Structure 1
Amino acid sequence: MGVQPWASGTWTNEPVDARVTTDGLVVTAREGSDAWRRTSYGFVHDTEHALLAALPQRTAVEVSFRLDFTAQFDQAGVFLRVDDEHWIKAGVEFSDGTNSLGAVVTARFSDWSLAPVPDWAGRDVTVRASRSGDAVTIRARVADEPWRLVRVAPLDASAVVEAGPFCCAPTRGGLTVLFTDWRVVPADESLHPE
């Protein structure tokens, strides 16, 4: 538990560039990179840049990054993967002119949820995915503000899951994301604050 070294993960798809600096991991996404399965659009994209390591039961993964998006569907956050057809991505996405906090939960077909967070631009965002029993609870925040509940999604309790930071640039080249932290910590004790 604790800080996850950048070198401990394996990429689902290699980005244009990924280098460790004193500030964190700087990743440049490939143009057209994305993760989506069928729903509404009819296509399958499995070209996301996700740096993954094991996520056992009763643990949570936290990923922090600097939010600096400018193009349609620029995105970054945390990615959980069971296989090609079962995965979750959650974080911030630049959609229709604003930054929005959201998640895509995929079980053969993808869904999508977003909530605008325009005041998060230029700040450090942390996304947390907590695995416990048959669910994953996703929360996010900026700085030391309270956690916001993003999603509670089903996740097979017996599944072998990998998780870590991800980014995608579906509509442009040149998206560079600074990931400032990657941690594995104990799972949340409960769904609701006590």
Structure 2
Amino acid sequence: MPESQNVPWSAGTWTHPPLSTESGQELIATAVEGSDAWRHTAYGFVHDTEHALLAPLAVGEAMEVSFHAPWTGEFDQAGVFVRIDDEHWMKAGLEYADGHLGLGAVVTAIRSDWSVGYVDDWLDTEVTVRVSRWADALIVRARAADGPWRLVRVAPFDGDAAASAGPFLAGPTRSGLAVRFSRWTRTPADTDLH
């Protein structure tokens, strides 16, 4: 495949439509209050109401999404979502929680987990999240502006299953979270971890 292909906003299908969208060169999407994605672990609930704009992602490909958001509401989140079905998916990106901006991922295989680290210095920057699909794994990297890529997660993922990926947002605790997505790109997957 070519080194990099922009994915048109119109090429994706929403898992759950946002409250509103405006698209041109950029996509501005506003989350529905209470939207989220989580299954069971620690909290005891299932949320399947995230806003993810998805297009097919094959083994050997990567998706990159760049975005900027006003991180003010508890659990405001945006990044990349990769989905096989309701019980097998991953979301990776930024989430504002407990007064800090966190970079992390939730990997779900029937039950969800969550890994996160603070990146408060990324608060007012454009962030890019990149997910590479290998035969048995998803490799997540992220960076602020044009800074260095940071490894976020290596997660098991079924290489034989059909999967889709793309930008996502959710506003679990408030109305009005508007995320500005500036880029959605498909590239060859990273070939190395280090």
Matches of 1:61 and 1:110 in 2, distance apart? 22
Counterpart residue number, 2:167:
165
Q: Superposition RMSD on alpha carbons, in Å?
A: 0.8
Matches of 2:136 and 2:5 in 1, distance apart? 23
Counterpart residue number, 1:148:
150
Are 1:78 and 1:127, in contact at CA under 8 Å, matched by a contact in 2? yes
**Secondary structure of the residue that 1:119 maps to in structure 2?**
helix
Provide the identity percentage. Answer: 59
Counterpart residue number, 1:116:
118
Counterpart residue number, 1:8:
11
TM-score (norm 1): 0.97
**Secondary structure of the residue that 2:121 maps to in structure 1?**
helix
Q: What displacement does 1:191 show? A: 1.1
Are 1:67 and 1:120, in contact at CA under 8 Å, matched by a contact in 2? no
Are 2:104 and 2:117, in contact at CA under 8 Å, matched by a contact in 1? yes
Matches of 2:100 and 2:15 in 1, distance apart? 27
Write the deviation string for residues 48-84 of structure 1: whole angstroms up to 9, x where unpaired. 0000000011000000001421010000000000000
Runs of 4+ in 1 over 3 A off after TM superposition: none
Q: Which amino acid aligns with 2:158?
A: D
Are 1:85 and 1:109, in contact at CA under 8 Å, matched by a contact in 2? yes
Counterpart residue number, 1:78:
80
Residues 32-181 of structure 1: pairs in structure 2 closer than 5 A: 32-181=34-183
Matches of 2:192 and 2:111 in 1, distance apart? 28
TM-score (norm 2): 0.97
Q: What displacement does 1:189 show? A: 1.4
Unaligned stretches of 5+ residues in structure 1: none
Unaligned stretches of 5+ residues in structure 2: none
User: How many residue pairs end up in the alignment?
Assistant: 191
Q: What displacement does 1:21 show? A: 3.5
**Secondary structure of the residue that 2:10 maps to in structure 1?**
helix
2:27 to 2, 25, 28: 25
Are 2:70 and 2:177, in contact at CA under 8 Å, matched by a contact in 1? no
